């Protein structure tokens, strides 16, 4: 068991560096911690096999959009086997602790929204089914109305033809009476 104490400088605070270090350390099954120092550096205390610590040291030299490791001062010595896990030390006034809580709340919110959409989709399906039923009823009612209107038109046509014939007959009678 070996111990690594490393002081990392560069853009390593308020950039998510410690969280990345924790993930990498756990991947190598290392024990220890990572914490911010007041001078802007990050201190890493890690225990594990010498080979894993060497690979870990290479892996934590991160450079991306937010993080830029400029230097790592590393010291190796005999391990103490002082820790059971690898963790991030969060200071009292650091936002990390609040962000961790916020992240958990965000996960809950996402789950609630997803569940809400499932429920909404279910209700929309139900509404769509009822809408289809109503459309069928409207179609049936429309067919009944068309049939009724056709029947009324037929009745009216027949009555109009009768009245027209009577009027024509009356006109013929009136003309015949008017002739001398």
Which amino acids are annotated catalytic?
18, 36
Q: Is the dihedral of CA 55, 61, 64, 65 positive or negative?
A: positive
Longest dimension (CA), the chain: 146
34 φ, ψ (degrees, to nearest 5): -135, 140
Query: Which ranges in 47-95 belong to alpha helices (H)?
Result: 50-59
Q: Is the dihedral of CA 109, 110, 115, 120 positive or negative?
A: positive
Residue 25: closest CA among 38, 42, 37, 9: 42
Q: How many Å apart are CA 169 and CA 147, to the nearest integer?
A: 33
Residues forming a β-bridge with 114 = none
Q: What is the dihedral of CA 70, 76, 81, 83, to 10 degrees?
A: -10
């Amino acid at each position: 068991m070996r111990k690594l104490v490393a002081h990392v400088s560069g853009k390593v605070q308020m950039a998510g560096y410690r969280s990345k270090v924790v993930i990498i350390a756990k991947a190598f099954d290392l024990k220890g911690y990572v914490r911010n120092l007041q001078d802007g550096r990050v201190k890493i205390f890690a225990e594990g096999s010498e080979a894993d610590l060497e690979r870990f040291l290479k892996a934590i030299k991160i450079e991306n959009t937010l993080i830029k490791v400029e230097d790592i001062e590393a010291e190796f010595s005999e391990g103490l086997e002082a820790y059971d896990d690898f963790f991030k030390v969060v200071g009292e006034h650091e936002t990390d602790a609040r962000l961790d809580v916020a992240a958990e709340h965000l996960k809950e919110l996402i789950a609630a929204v997803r569940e809400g959409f499932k429920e909404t989709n279910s209700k929309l399906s139900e509404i769509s089914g009822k809408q289809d039923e109503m459309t069928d009823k409207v179609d049936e009612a429309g067919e009944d109305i068309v049939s009724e209107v056709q029947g009324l038109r037929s009745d009216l046509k027949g009555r109009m033809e009768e009245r027209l014939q009577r009027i024509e007959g009356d006109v013929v009678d009136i003309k015949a009476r008017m002739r001398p």
